[in-house]
Structure 1
Amino acid sequence: MPEFYRAAVLLKDEQHMFDGVRVANRNPAKSLHLAEVPTPMPGPGEVLVAAMASSVNYNTVWSAIFEPVPTFAFLEQYARTGGLATRHDQPYHVVGSDLSGIVLRTGPGVRRWRPGQRVVAHCLSVELEDPAGHDDSMLDPQQRIWGFETNFGGLAELALVKANQLMPKPPHLTWEEAAVSGLVNSTAYRQLVSRNGANMRQGDNVLIWGAASGLGSYATQYALAGGAFPICVVSSPRKAEICREMGAEAIIDRSAEDYRFWSGEEGGQNPREWRRFGQRVRELTGGEDVDIVFEHPGRDTFGASVYVARRGGTIVTCASTTGYLHEFDNRYLWMHVKRIIGSHFANYYEAWRANRLIMRGRIHPSLSQTYPLEQVGLAAEVVHGNRHLGKVGVLCLADKEGMGVDAPEFRTRHEAQLNRFRKRPGSTDAAG
């Protein structure tokens, strides 16, 4: 076992480096460093994984720009719970909430997993000592997101996870393809499909913001696979093309149609733009309003989302990548008996079900480009600037792209879907 390993880290003594700098101008490439850190040994119920690949999520960006708060506060809070958690309070934070890799060593009490097994990890770290967690582990008060609210994350050569974070690696995928789905695929499944989210049914009209983005691309696939009718909102012709390739028919290019939801008096929202947007949606649905709005941009779009949902409809929300403080006209919510559902990642069962659909070739990774671990800062900068399609992968111990495929014949049947988001001309324009 190596004494040290290479990892993408943030440094505690730099957590205030962006104070006074606008969020949009903070550069994660300045705060993310590649460093050697001591190897943590797995305790009871834990597993040490050789990480072949990982990916950049928005929580990696938030970590690296110390927004809304530096993540070292999370690590300190976790450490105060005692026991093995004290190891997480370090002067460095190994970030990253995705991985594909190989089990290297297991701690006491781990029975399902053995060294040598090929795995992917979801990012729910949970203690399950509180009764609430046994109804839905996302309700456990000690629920945390691994690699964001805990240390020893996936953007590294090694990663420390709980045994109940692991799932089988889809054998037809490369390491980098397998690494990008854990967080966003599980999140989209719970948010849209699960009874804990919107509980989507066949025939539902589903409005999907950012339908060619990492999260939105999985939501689009779930809507199509589940017999729903997705209305895909994107921001460029290239992203509209991606959605058509996935099988969507109703597409709104919001940049071409120039919706300005925040163009009202004194910089407020403009209800006339909500109405114009709602009319466009009904043109695409044959005069129907949407049953479900798949929300993740947040502040920029939330007022329009509440407006366009049908009477009794559902707005299911997570992430808020454009801002956390949402504004909407409550009359359209209360008088039309609509529901807002908050959705945060997924429990182990939901993550396992979502991964199972990838294993069976029903849902596909939306990997567009891959960076080596040495360029993780650049990868995070690309995501921060929304200069990507789908998901951005990072090679860790894998020497090059294309490695790790164990089911080549099955892969051949899905090659076109697996390469749909690959970097090509136009793939670095602003995210959908």
Structure 2
Amino acid sequence: MKHILDAITALDSSDSTPEDFAALPLPESYRAVTVHKDEAAMFDGLPTEEKDPRESLHLDEVPVPELGPGEALVAVMASSVNYNSVWTSIFEPVPTFAFLERYGRLSPLAKRHDLPYHVIGSDLAGVVLRTGAGVHSWRPGDEVVAHCLSVELESADGHDDTMLDPEQRIWGFETNFGGLAELALVKANQLMPKPAHLSWEEAAAPGLVNSTAYRQLVSRNGAAMKQGDNVLIWGASGGLGSYATQLALAGGATPVCVVSSPERAGICRAMGAEAIIDRSAEGYRFWKDEHTQNPREWRRFGARIRELTGGEDVDIVFEHPGRETFGASVYVARRGGTVVTCASTSGYQHVYDNRYLWMSLKRIVGSHFANYREAWEANRLVAKGRIHPTVSRTYPLERTGQAAHDVHRNRHQGKVGVLALAPAEGLGVRDRAMRERHLAAINRFRADGGE
């Protein structure tokens, strides 16, 4: 891979052409973070919190996949860990090989994905090396990021909202050849321009979570947030919540940020939020026991929110913890308000009192990733410096297991980055002047202040 890395490193000081990159010889294999099909039962019988991604994630040398029509092969400079990488690594809620087997039955080309190993990862920043037949908008040498929506669009259902395509999948989770690797295979319509003022690891961080937060909060397919809305954001300094907080502030809404420590509260204040609830310090316990929720705590929580908003309930609840918080979320939303939900990282079985939903005309909206347009708009906000990456720490590819362990145990802030081909942090910046204008915000989540 060294000649590929050398060509990419020289991009900002050379006159390389697309033809030069297309002429670079491809290796027969590359390093990739994988889970193995024959280990899918390795954590059987263990509670979720005891399952360790460091035991299941491998750094393997795997063959370069065949490039198909409408696809691109990308040299991955950096990636990041999302919660779907954690789910893959602990084989919950089901081993991802079931997704790959199902995809493999779709067509002879899709059969490539059904392998005894799964190359994971749903983010990347890198450089296009090859494009398949029918690709016109991207050329070898282009610096790109990728969103993780993979669709076939052979059904009419997906042509108003690509997320509704019956063959919608999340790349690197429900498909193979993901971004936690030195090379990645994507559909060319997943590609977007890399923000020029960001380093590789910074550019790789927003893709999945920023697009997800954009659809969930801003889009008419989600909560359709407007100026002046009060928005309750669970986990407001985390990988998903940190982007929701920024989007609320950028859109003229008031985020009510729920965090679990003074340090996380400080990060929300640094982003510009003022209404903050430290749920650990204030001792909220929404469940009396495993089977019984505590409405008294819902009421105490709602009263605290009104203290922070000048007596108003929240218009929108940005929900992603799921089981642990969902009953409280439905309760605290205002009359006619919206609870928009994804992920369910604390459990998929949601319990709430329906009287507070139907009698107060509230809505629950399910939201999953983002369609092509939403992902593009979310990336455009990053490129314009309106939304900033939230990288707090970066690991080398061989320590991806530790990175996933951090996310699994909630030991991280913002996003945890992974360097693939990039030999060090801070590389790949093309627009230094713009970077200087936003440097404090770019480094906001880094404990050492970054550069």
TM-score bracket for the superposition, by shorter chain length:
over 0.9
Question: Conserved in 2, the CA contact under 8 Å of 1:41 and 1:48?
Answer: no
Q: Distance in 1 between matches of 2:447 and 2:157?
A: 43
Deviations 1:45-98 (A, max 9, x none): 000000000000000000000000000000000001112100000010000000
Quick check: 1:47 aligned with 2:72?
yes
Residue 218 of structure 2: aligned partner: 193
Deviations 1:231-253 (A, max 9, x none): 00000001111001100010000
3-state SS of paired residue (1:20) = coil
Q: Distance in 1 between matches of 2:125 and 2:286?
A: 40
Mapping of residues 94-243 of structure 1, within 5 Å: 94-243=119-268
Q: Distance in 1 between matches of 2:448 and 2:279?
A: 22
Q: Distance in 2 between matches of 1:5 and 1:170?
A: 26
1:16 alignment partner AA: A
Residue 341 of structure 1: aligned partner: 365
Of the three residues 397, 404, 413, the one matched with 2:428 is 404
Residue 300 of structure 2: aligned partner: 276
Kindly state the Cα deviation for residue 424 of structure 1 after the two structures are TM-superposed.
4.7
2:27 alignment partner AA: P
3-state SS of paired residue (2:287) = coil
Kindly state the Cα deviation for residue 267 of structure 1 after the two structures are TM-superposed.
4.1
Of the three residues 81, 84, 88, the one matched with 2:109 is 84
Quick check: 1:365 aligned with 2:382?
no
Mapping of residues 246-257 of structure 1, within 5 Å: 246-257=271-282
Q: Distance in 1 between matches of 2:219 and 2:189?
A: 19
TM-score normalised by length of structure 2: 0.93
Q: CA RMSD in A?
A: 0.9
Runs of 4+ in 1 over 6 A off after TM superposition: none
Quick check: 1:15 aligned with 2:40?
yes
Question: Conserved in 2, the CA contact under 8 Å of 1:220 and 1:230?
Answer: yes
1:233 alignment partner AA: V
Kindly state the Cα deviation for residue 148 of structure 1 after the two structures are TM-superposed.
0.2
Deviations 1:207-246 (A, max 9, x none): 0000000100000000000000110000000111100110
Kindly state the Cα deviation for residue 263 of structure 1 after the two structures are TM-superposed.
1.5
Deviations 1:94-151 (A, max 9, x none): 0000000000000000000000000000000000001000010100110000000000
3-state SS of paired residue (1:273) = helix
Q: Distance in 2 between matches of 1:132 and 1:252?
A: 41
Quick check: 1:419 aligned with 2:426?
no
3-state SS of paired residue (1:214) = coil
TM-score normalised by length of structure 1: 0.97
Question: Conserved in 2, the CA contact under 8 Å of 1:201 and 1:228?
Answer: yes
Question: Conserved in 2, the CA contact under 8 Å of 1:178 and 1:365?
Answer: yes
Quick check: 1:320 aligned with 2:344?
yes
Deviations 1:178-201 (A, max 9, x none): 001100000000000000000000
Gaps of 5+ in 2: 1-25
Q: Distance in 1 between matches of 2:287 and 2:143?
A: 47
Q: Distance in 1 between matches of 2:440 and 2:30?
A: 36
Gaps of 5+ in 1: 426-432
Q: Distance in 1 between matches of 2:249 and 2:447?
A: 24
Of the three residues 326, 329, 345, the one matched with 1:305 is 329
Deviations 1:151-200 (A, max 9, x none): 00000000000001000000000000000110000000000000000000
Kindly state the Cα deviation for residue 324 of structure 1 after the two structures are TM-superposed.
0.5
Residue 2 of structure 1: aligned partner: 27
Question: Conserved in 2, the CA contact under 8 Å of 1:99 and 1:154?
Answer: yes
Query: How many residue pairs end up in the alignment?
Result: 424
Q: Distance in 1 between matches of 2:66 and 2:132?
A: 8
